Structure 1
Amino acid sequence: MNIYIKRLFCILFLILCFFNLNAAEFVFRQLSVSDGFPPSIQYIYAEDNGYVWIVSKQGLGRFDGYELKTYSYEEGNPYSLPGNQIYAIEEDSLHNLWVLSDSGVVNYQRHTDRFIPVLDENGDTFKATAVCKLPGRLLLAGHDQIYQYSYQERKIRTLHEVKVPSSFSVREMLLWDEHTLLCMESWKGILCIDLRTGEKKPSPFPDGNDITHALIDETGSVWTTSYNRGITCYDRKGDIKAVYTTENSALSHNVILCLSENNGKIWAGTDGGGINIIDSRTGNVTVLKHLSGDDNSLPINSIQCLFQRKGEKNVWVGSVKGGLINIRPSIVCSYTDVPLGFKTGLSEKAVLSFYQESDSKEIWIGTDGGGVNRFNPITKEFVHYPSTYGEKVVSLCGYSQDELLISLFSKGVFFFNKHTGQIRSINEKGEIINKIALYSRKGINLYQDDTKSILILSSDIHRYYWNDGRVQQLNDKGIPIEGQVIPFGYDSLKTYLYDLKRIYALDHRNNKIEIIYTSSRKNDIECVAKDAHGIFWIGFSNQIFRYDVNLQQETLLETHPLRNITALVCDNQQRLWIGTNEELFVWLDKEKKLISLDKSDGALIPQHYYKIFFLST
């Protein structure tokens, strides 16, 4: 079966080149119990260019990007974690890592992998439950004291004695203004502490005792949560600016378990409603939520903690029962097969062909045994056509407002009704076409480069005319075809094709075929792409050449070694997308830079990676 196959979850990123990615496009990496992670994570802290620390009921964990190392209290070891209940973790401006536990405060010593007890001014260990990093110093909250660590002095001292209710344990500290701390414990409200005197001050917020979480954003606005009441945003005077609930907005759940800020937007983890992203400028709410059967959705919907370092794209998420999740913006969206009729994937994971109509963003997909699929890149939903299930759809192209032409391997060319999904035979004048399809032992590629006809491409080049059913062979003995002809683009004057040894230009005005490039190499041509400037990019097994047809000048693309090149596509941003058996790459021609894509970009690499061409009118 001489057809060109590639699995859609590896190449659908080529489709995304033709669309602007929505701001809510993310890739999710889940690290769960099967990866050695605790099921529920209560707290996360990511060091600056270093480890990710997670807190669970099992104690403390350190993740280096590959493995998770766990720490817990060890009796008789003075350098172990002093207690298994962790309140907070913070890296100060001197890159000291502070760990606040139920049995004392320690610094993590990276080069020895030890926890060093922190002593107060009396030489005693002490307990703190919250930390706040300020310029030149670090503040830590004990039960009735505020401690200060000065970078200049490099030691702990008691800043103020603070009289708080015996039942109040500070779990969050935020700097309200130059002289005031907001100290909060979930379910018990907010206390304001004057840093100059240690005295309590009135809370600026009404119903402060109901507040469970608070966040001060980069504009100074304060975001708070109360149980089952959504999110409230206050100004600096304590006046309400906005309220977000499921009743008055797109918020997915009213129970908010955590808040964070990323690039000017507020992220809210919910108890069953996924993650809500609020754009405070517009009031728009974007929901990241788990959808059953959709591998591109958030892995789980109950989110207990979030961590985002300012200026970085990574978001670390601690879930309830789902372990650790990493979220980052994606440039690739990967899909695979799902049960027939499901909207979240393909009816068959092996894809043979694509077609996109000029007046539509939807993509028609021909699969290897799963029939015809239709994909909407805006809604990210697939439609399967059961009447075509079992068919190997080698190629698709336009025909009329209601029908496509499709090529079925070893069966011939048929009309496909876009509304009903039914297929019907081409008329008796298509006998020549079906003879090629049935007996050439090769699939037929259909390519629409003209409003009145299509190209029939196999071992020879034919043109089929709609009106009278006439079939005209365009190549003669002077144009020997090596292998099978593959189309890769057209402009107002010419259509461009290639086979194993040559690139051809087919003139629309007279149907004359011109050889514009002949390879002298032993290796066959694997793939060809043409960019917006008329430059041809020619892929061989282990090399790519840049060919200027006007100058007849061929230049080797100098990158680190590429192996088993199978696909090339140029997008409208002067990027060359490169598919190999093992990896996906993007070549940025202006910067002369090659970027490798992997799972962190949303690209899932299969064990076998074949070739396909993308058709877009």
Structure 2
Amino acid sequence: MLVILLTIPGFFGYAQHKIHLHQLPTEGLSDPGITAIYQDHQGFLWLGTQHGLNRFDGYDYLVYNHSGEDASSLSSNQINTIIEDSQNRLWIGTKYGLNVFDRQTKTFKKYLPATDKPHAIPGKNIKVLFVDHQNNLWIGTNEGLAKFREETDDFLVYKNLPNEPNGLSGNDINTLVEDHLHRLWIGTNYAGISLLNPETGQFRSFMNQNNNPYSLSGNTVISIFEDSYQNIWVGTLQEGLNKYDTETNQFKRYLSNDSKQSIATNSIYSISEDMDRKLVVGGMQGGMSIYNRQSDTFIRYTTKGHINHRGNTASVLTDYMNEDKQLLIATSNGGVTIYDNFPSQINAYQSIPGSSNSLSINHISSLIEDQGNSLWIGTDGGGLNHLDLQTGEFVHYLKNSQKGALPDNTILDIEPLAEANQYLLLTQLHGLVLFDKNSKTFEALPVMEGFKPETFQRINRLQDGRMLLYGKHHYAIYSPQENKTLIASEPLPYQLTTYIQGPEGQAYFGTDEGLMALRLPDKTNFHSAGKLSPIPSARLPINSLATDPTGKLLIGTNDGQIFHFDQNELRPLTNSMMGQSPITNLLVSKDKLWATNSSGIWVNGYSDMMEAAGDQWKLYNKQDGLAGNVSKAGTLALGLHGNLYLGSIEGLSIFHPDSLLTNPIAPQAIITSIESPSKELNKSWAQTDLNTIQKIQLDPRQASIKFTFASSNFIKSSKNKYKYRLLGKDEEWQVSQQRSASYTNLPPGNYTLQLLASNNDGVWASSPKTISVTVPPLPLIFWYWSLPIALISLSIGYLLWFRYRKSGQTRAMIPEDKVEIAEKKVKTDPFFEEIDRIILDNLENESFDNKALCTAMGMSRAQLYRKFKENSALTLSAHIKKVKLIHASKLLRTTSLSVSEAASQSGFKNISHFSKSFQQEFNMTPSVYATSFRELAYDTL
């Protein structure tokens, strides 16, 4: 494991910045070796490889390959270059021919060399494509330069000619760039640079000259770039980097050498700029080199973004800068990384095996900052760690047999004593341990007689200096000044999980049964442990507590909810995207509410939530640089200088809230697929560019449709969100991280799909993508001949007569009375009506269970079970199943749903379990039941 050092305000000023690179996934990619990158106007990312062309939507790859049996396929699988012209046509240069992609038909048109056609493309190996300021498409090949002529669908060809001093210097072309004067710079193999003057149509050559140190360093030019300061940079093969001086027409050379400040490689494949206008240079086995304009030197980085003074790492093979100034880099490590312009500056610390200057172990259980720029870290099995926040150095205190040593390596909690240099440690095996910072000694305190060490899990210092210990069914008070044994409560029927003391002295325990008010004894009544009183309006499985700036309570529950508690009223603050894992820590700082769960750390604007102005929870996790996502209670702390310290089971994270940058680039929504039950519609969409569709007309007999979509943001795309609604059906926006929207059995009418996408930081596009959806009315059917009418009428008459005769037998098959009896057995008093309402509201919630029902009823499990048992002969689980079965029977009686659909909409995941339960309840299988009632309905008709 690595210790990642970043610069955070107030800390580690000596450290150099890490480059933040986000790796795109490689699963599904036709080949991890990327040779070309381009993002089109719709937002799709196109990646060329040695084994095909790939379209990436942020989640999945769609691969296009050459097929000898398909004349409309790519001319070759070896992709060299990709570009889009002013008409949004996608051009692909391959090792064998030029291709243009037809998005409607998903086919490729080829341009190949032809000796009998003077205006054919000159070479088969298409090495570079470029569109100039006049929207001309230029093509560099292995046998000359060409400009595409739209009007004649052919090419104007430029070639090197003998004895032509103003002609192209060489035919094997590697790179093309247009400068701010609209001159075309052409890099060649073995023939240096040709500079095309657009006004005269003549070329000027730059080549290496022996004994001239101000000439081009090498004649094989593989990259050219004009930076934002209008400097021309030239990369060569094995001969270094060059900067062109326009006033002197001379080149300054930058070569790799033993100096750590030199460029890392002499083979320069990639030259670009980041958003801060820093020159980024990459090449063969050199990683990346960032140019320092002030010192005229370079800082070397690996292709993972870490400082690497040696510079002997993986290669950078190509680069691409999109319109949003996002730099994408292909490396020999495989795949593509995006240079993150808006990173989250997080210091992550993890254990390095064999190193004393790292965490002793990654599993952190407690932490606290002292006044001396020190962080004290309790671990689960790794003793006590001290981190000097000025130098970044660690000191470990581990268990050993010497006098004054730490007696236990598992430290559950840390609290400072009134004395500035002493801490009280709660350990797993030895209870309370006194630590003196000055002498660096530990003393196990013999104050826990009669208690098992695991009884207490947490420790808090009270305002009067005494210590409060709590955990499994007990709490106790300890006075360090008197050093007496613990004064403990009587055994409690619940688990104490968290404690907080309000600004006015109110004390509260959070328990698995709800919120408890604690009345503490004063020092004159030391023999008493005080009294606990339950707060009926907060019967929740509480896992964490905090106070807001006004002193009101914030409650984090074991099922992933956060509530604001004011005047005995609970106001929910969380949303569905936060999941249902326990809220382990809560903290309010500078109008921000921070909360941890198994996904990482979440943050939201506290005032915005109180004013109901938004639900903008934002998640930071390992993708953003956190050491780990899962944190125990008591491992989130606010530092003296505004930094946040977060311990996890995978290490320590330190960051300042102001250093968590937000990506401001609003993405566009991309339609990736449209599906319908109609085979004809699906076939037409398969031959259509879906992102150009503006209107859809559905078959009224199969009026269902599913849209699948993506976001053009590729940085941490798993954090992208989507808003959609179908005007005419949806009243509210549907917000989700799911990438599809389905609508079934739409009635005739006119609808409009509106779709918005967000980026990884929750920034939304300003206007939605829209598609009109029309469902026409069913056509009227007329019969013009009497014979068909007569035949149909006779058939209907016979069928009705036959049904009427059979109806007596059919009715006898249906246990209507049993259904009615079953319905009547379900209690109808307000208590049961509320239970049934909650069950029916959660039929499609797969995670709904008895525990969720208790939470929704605002009752503890014991209370709910007790009241239920007093009023019903059924168990709670049996009652829930009966309500679901009755609901399913109604669906089968009154709708045309299939048995599996009725089961799913009634909350049954397993169809065989549903069928068995239904038959046990009604003495009839659900399929026979549905058929019987539908026959009766037909008889009635």
CA contact (8 A) 2:29 2:63 kept: no
Secondary structure of the 1:520 match is helix
Question: How much does 1:575 deviate?
Answer: 3.0
Cα deviation, 1:267-326, whole Å, max 9, x if unaligned, reads 2224444333345468686654379999xxx9x74322233324254x433222444444
Within 5 A, what are the aligned runs for 1:124-523? 124=120, 127=123, 128-142=126-140, 143-148=143-148, 157-158=155-156, 163=161, 168-185=171-188, 188-203=191-206, 206-208=214-216, 210=218, 212-226=222-236, 231-234=241-244, 236-237=246-247, 250=261, 253-255=264-266, 256-263=268-275, 264-278=277-291, 280=293, 287-289=300-302, 301-313=314-326, 315-328=327-340, 329-331=342-344, 338=351, 340-342=353-355, 346-360=359-373, 363-374=375-386, 387=399, 391-398=409-416, 404-415=423-434, 424-426=442-444, 430-432=445-447, 434-435=448-449, 438-439=452-453, 441-445=455-459, 447=461, 453=465, 455-458=467-470, 459-460=474-475, 462=477, 464-465=479-480, 468=481, 470=483, 483-484=495-496, 486=498, 498-500=509-511, 501-502=514-515, 518=535, 520-523=537-540
Question: How much does 1:97 deviate?
Answer: 1.4
Question: How much does 1:89 deviate?
Answer: 0.8
Moved more, 81-90 or 396-405: 396-405
Moved more, 132-141 or 453-462: 453-462
The 3 A distance-change label for structure 1 pair 197 and 79 is farther
Q: 1 CA distance for matches of 2:259 and 2:128?
A: 34
Q: Kindly, what percent of the aligned residue pairs are identical?
A: 17
Cα deviation, 1:122-146, whole Å, max 9, x if unaligned, reads 8856654322223341331344343
CA contact (8 A) 1:409 1:444 kept: no
Moved more, 57-66 or 77-86: 57-66
Secondary structure of the 2:195 match is strand
CA contact (8 A) 2:544 2:583 kept: yes
CA contact (8 A) 2:358 2:393 kept: yes
Counterpart position of 2:23: 29
Counterpart position of 1:578: 595
Moved more, 159-168 or 455-464: 159-168
Counterpart position of 1:5: none
Question: How much does 1:565 deviate?
Answer: 3.6
Question: How much does 1:605 deviate?
Answer: 7.5
Cα deviation, 1:328-369, whole Å, max 9, x if unaligned, reads 354375969656434797544433112222432x54332222
Partner AA of 2:225 in structure 1: L
The 3 A distance-change label for structure 1 pair 239 and 161 is closer
Greater relative contact order (CA < 8 Å, ≥ 6 in sequence): 1
Partner AA of 1:442 in structure 2: F
Of structures 1 and 2, the larger Rg is shown by 2
CA contact (8 A) 2:80 2:94 kept: yes
Cα deviation, 1:85-140, whole Å, max 9, x if unaligned, reads 33311123433211112322112233443222258998856654322223341331
Secondary structure of the 2:173 match is coil
Secondary structure of the 2:636 match is coil
Counterpart position of 1:528: 545
Partner AA of 1:147 in structure 2: K
Secondary structure of the 1:259 match is strand
Counterpart position of 1:106: 99
Q: Which runs of 5+ in 1 are unaligned?
A: 1-7
Counterpart position of 2:796: none
Q: 2 CA distance for matches of 1:368 and 1:333?
A: 23
Secondary structure of the 1:566 match is coil
Q: 2 CA distance for matches of 1:538 and 1:438?
A: 29
Matched, 1:82 2:36: no
CA contact (8 A) 2:584 2:631 kept: no
TM-score, normalisation: structure 1: 0.75
Query: How many residue pairs were aligned?
Result: 583
CA contact (8 A) 1:230 1:253 kept: no
Question: How much does 1:47 deviate?
Answer: 3.3
Q: 1 CA distance for matches of 2:297 and 2:575?
A: 43
The 3 A distance-change label for structure 1 pair 441 and 475 is closer
Counterpart position of 1:555: 571
Counterpart position of 2:617: 594
Q: 1 CA distance for matches of 2:517 and 2:241?
A: 62
The 3 A distance-change label for structure 1 pair 271 and 526 is same
- Normalized per residue, the structure richer in strand is 1
The 3 A distance-change label for structure 1 pair 123 and 157 is closer
Partner AA of 1:441 in structure 2: T
Partner AA of 1:544 in structure 2: I
Question: How much does 1:525 deviate?
Answer: 1.8
Cα deviation, 1:505-559, whole Å, max 9, x if unaligned, reads 999x9999999994623322222234556554322224322346xx777533263
CA contact (8 A) 2:21 2:337 kept: no
Q: 1 CA distance for matches of 2:325 and 2:19?
A: 16
Cα deviation, 1:411-444, whole Å, max 9, x if unaligned, reads 1233557799x76224xxx432x44874462224
Question: How much does 1:409 deviate?
Answer: 0.7
Q: 2 CA distance for matches of 1:487 and 1:285?
A: 53
CA contact (8 A) 1:162 1:199 kept: no
The 3 A distance-change label for structure 1 pair 209 and 23 is closer
Question: How much does 1:147 deviate?
Answer: 0.3
Cα deviation, 1:63-89, whole Å, max 9, x if unaligned, reads 333344444432232222112333311
The 3 A distance-change label for structure 1 pair 378 and 358 is closer
Q: 2 CA distance for matches of 1:93 and 1:74?
A: 29
Q: 1 CA distance for matches of 2:204 and 2:531?
A: 85
Q: 1 CA distance for matches of 2:594 and 2:468?
A: 27
Q: 1 CA distance for matches of 2:344 and 2:260?
A: 29
Partner AA of 1:520 in structure 2: S
Question: How much does 1:191 deviate?
Answer: 1.4
Root-mean-square deviation (CA, aligned residues, Å) is 5.1
Question: How much does 1:201 deviate?
Answer: 1.9
The 3 A distance-change label for structure 1 pair 194 and 545 is same
The 3 A distance-change label for structure 1 pair 226 and 157 is closer
Q: 1 CA distance for matches of 2:152 and 2:450?
A: 83
The 3 A distance-change label for structure 1 pair 101 and 226 is closer
Moved more, 109-118 or 342-351: 342-351
Partner AA of 1:445 in structure 2: I
The 3 A distance-change label for structure 1 pair 464 and 45 is farther
CA contact (8 A) 1:220 1:236 kept: no
Q: 2 CA distance for matches of 1:301 and 1:599?
A: 24
Counterpart position of 1:546: 564
Q: 2 CA distance for matches of 1:405 and 1:251?
A: 52
Question: 2:87 aligned to 79, 94, 99, which one?
Answer: 94
Q: 1 CA distance for matches of 2:357 and 2:338?
A: 22
